C-alpha cells in the first residue's frame, strides 16, 4: 500500500492532495499548524494520521515523524512538502527582517525537515517520490512580494539539486508550481495586492486573472491531480521538473 505524507495538509492544496490519495486507497498522514483544521480533517478521515505540528520546529516535526513510523512501521512512499506562507507584501525598502525570515523559514526549512526524514527511508527502500509545492512566483519575478518569490525560487533550486542527488537511489523529486489557486489564501493575496497597489480588490482580482492565458484560476483539486499523476505509472520517469499547473501565467505584475 502506498504511504503518503502531506505537510500543511489540513486545508487548501494540501487537503486536496491528502483526500485525492485517500480516495485512491493510500495510507495518508498529514501535519498542519492549524489545530482546528487538523481536528476537522481527523473527524472526516478517521483512518488517517493528522497531527498539529509547526513545520519550522525540528522537535515538533520529529514527534510527527515518530508517530507516523510507529503507525506504519515504515516511512513514506510519497512526500508532499506542501507547507508555505506568502510572507509580507510591500516594497523591499519597507520590509521587516523578522517577517522576511519567517517566510523563508516556513517555505525552505518547512521543506527541508520532512525531505531529510523521507530521504532516509526512501534510500533504504530504493525508491520514492518527493513533491515540493513551489509557485509560478518561483519561475518569474513578483514585484512587492520579494520574500515569497525568493523562497519559492529557493524551492526550485532545492528540487533540482535533490533530483540529481537522490536520483541514483531511485528517488524522484519534482516541484509543482501553481498560479492563483481558488480559496481563502488567494483572497488574502488579492486583499494584500489591493492595499499595496492602491486599487480595489476587484481590480486586483482582475489583474491576476488577466495575467493568465486561460483567464482562469486553478482549483486545489487540479494541483492534487498532478501530484497523483506523478505517483502513477505514467509519471515514473518524471524527475527534476518544475511543473506549472496554472493556465499559463504570463505575468504576476501589473
pLDDT in tens, 118-134: 999 999 999 999 999 99
Rounded to an integer, the average pLDDT of 25-35 is 98
Q: What is the spatial distance between Cα 161 and Cα 73, in angstroms, rounded to a whole number?
A: 29
> What's the whole-model pTM score?
0.93
* 189 has pLDDT over 80: no
> Which pLDDT score, from 0 to 100, does residue 205 have?
74
Which candidate, 124, 149, 119, 147, places its Cα nearest to that of 134? 149
pLDDT of 166 reads 98
Domain 3-179+219-245: what homologous superfamily? NAD(P)-binding Rossmann-like Domain (3.40.50.720)
Catalytic residue from among 142, 148, 208, 229:
148
State how far the Cα of 123 lies from the Cα of 231, in Å rounded to an integer: 17
Q: Which residues are CB-neighbours of 143 under 8 A, at least 6 positions away? A: 252, 253, 254
> Any catalytic annotation for residue 229?
no
Per-residue pLDDT at 254 exceeds 70:
no
Ranges of each domain in the chain: 3-179+219-245
- Considering only CA atoms, which of 240, 20, 70, 91 is closest in space to residue 6? 20
Query: Is the predicted pLDDT of residue 63 greater than 70, yes or no?
Result: yes
Binned at pLDDT 50, 70 and 90, residue 85 comes out as: very high
Amino acid at each position: 500500500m502506498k504511504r503518503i505524507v502531506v505537510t500543511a495538509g489540513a486545508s487548501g492544496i494540501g487537503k486536496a492532495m491528502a483526500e485525492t490519495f485517500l480516495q485512491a486507497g493510500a495510507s495518508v498522514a498529514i501535519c498542519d499548524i492549524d489545530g482546528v483544521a487538523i481536528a476537522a480533517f481527523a473527524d472526516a478521515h478517521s483512518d488517517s494520521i493528522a497531527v498539529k505540528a509547526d513545520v519550522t520546529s525540528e522537535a515538533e516535526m520529529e514527534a510527527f515523524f515518530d508517530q507516523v513510523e510507529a503507525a506504519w512501521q515504515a516511512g513514506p512512499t510519497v512526500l508532499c512538502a506542501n507547507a508555505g506562507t506568502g510572507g509580507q507584501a510591500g516594497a523591499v525598502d519597507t520590509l521587516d527582517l523578522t517577517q522576511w525570515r519567517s517566510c523563508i523559514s516556513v517555505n525552505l526549512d518547512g521543506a527541508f525537515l520532512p525531505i531529510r526524514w523521507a530521504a532516509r527511508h526512501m534510500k533504504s527502500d530504493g525508491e520514492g517520490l518527493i513533491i515540493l509545492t513551489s509557485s509560478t512566483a518561483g519561475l518569474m519575478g513578483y514585484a512587492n512580494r520579494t520574500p515569497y518569490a525568493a523562497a519559492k525560487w529557493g524551492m526550485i533550486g532545492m528540487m533540482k539539486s535533490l533530483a540529481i542527488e537522490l536520483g541514483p537511489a531511485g528517488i524522484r523529486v519534482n516541484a509543482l508550481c501553481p498560479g492563483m489557486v481558488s480559496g481563502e489564501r488567494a483572497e488574502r493575496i488579492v486583499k494584500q495586492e489591493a492595499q499595496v497597489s492602491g486599487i480595489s480588490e476587484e481590480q486586483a482580482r482582475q489583474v491576476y486573472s488577466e495575467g493568465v492565458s486561460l483567464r482562469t484560476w486553478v482549483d486545489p483539486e487540479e494541483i492534487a491531480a498532478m501530484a497523483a499523476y506523478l505517483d502513477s505509472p505514467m509519471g515514473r520517469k518524471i524527475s527534476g521538473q518544475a511543473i506549472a499547473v496554472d493556465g499559463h501565467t504570463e505575468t504576476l505584475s501589473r
